[in-house]
């Protein structure tokens, strides 16, 4: 049980700085009364994630031009 738990914690700790930065930036934008920018950034990140997943699964053509 200890080895899978350690692997899980190591993987989670790799993403922790990105989550912390994301939450801090969302707080900054809320303080500036700009809540749309984090929403757009999150949407772009989610679309990019799913596009990458489809590419890795072979559902997308590698010669396709990306809009970004």
Per-residue pLDDT tens over the stretch 35-66: 899 889 888 888 888 887 777 776 656 565 65
> Residue 20 corresponds to which tokens in the numbers above?
């912390």
| Cα(54)–Cα(48) distance, integer angstroms | 10
pLDDT of residue 41: 86
Against a cut of 0.85, is the pTM above it?
Answer: no
pLDDT of residue 50: 83
Q: Do 60 and 54 meet the contact criterion of CB atoms below 8 Å apart? A: yes
pLDDT of residue 65: 62
**How do residues 23-33 score in pLDDT, each as one tens digit?**
998 899 999 99
Q: Do 51 and 60 meet the contact criterion of CB atoms below 8 Å apart? A: yes
């Amino acid at each position: 049980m200890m080895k899978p738990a350690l692997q899980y914690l190591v993987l989670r700790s790799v993403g922790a700085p990105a989550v912390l930065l994301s939450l801090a930036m969302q707080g900054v934008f809320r303080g500036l009364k700009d809540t749309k920018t984090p929403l757009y950034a999150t949407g772009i990140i989610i679309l990019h994630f799913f596009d990458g997943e489809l590419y890795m699964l072979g559902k997308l053509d590698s010669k396709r031009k990306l809009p970004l």
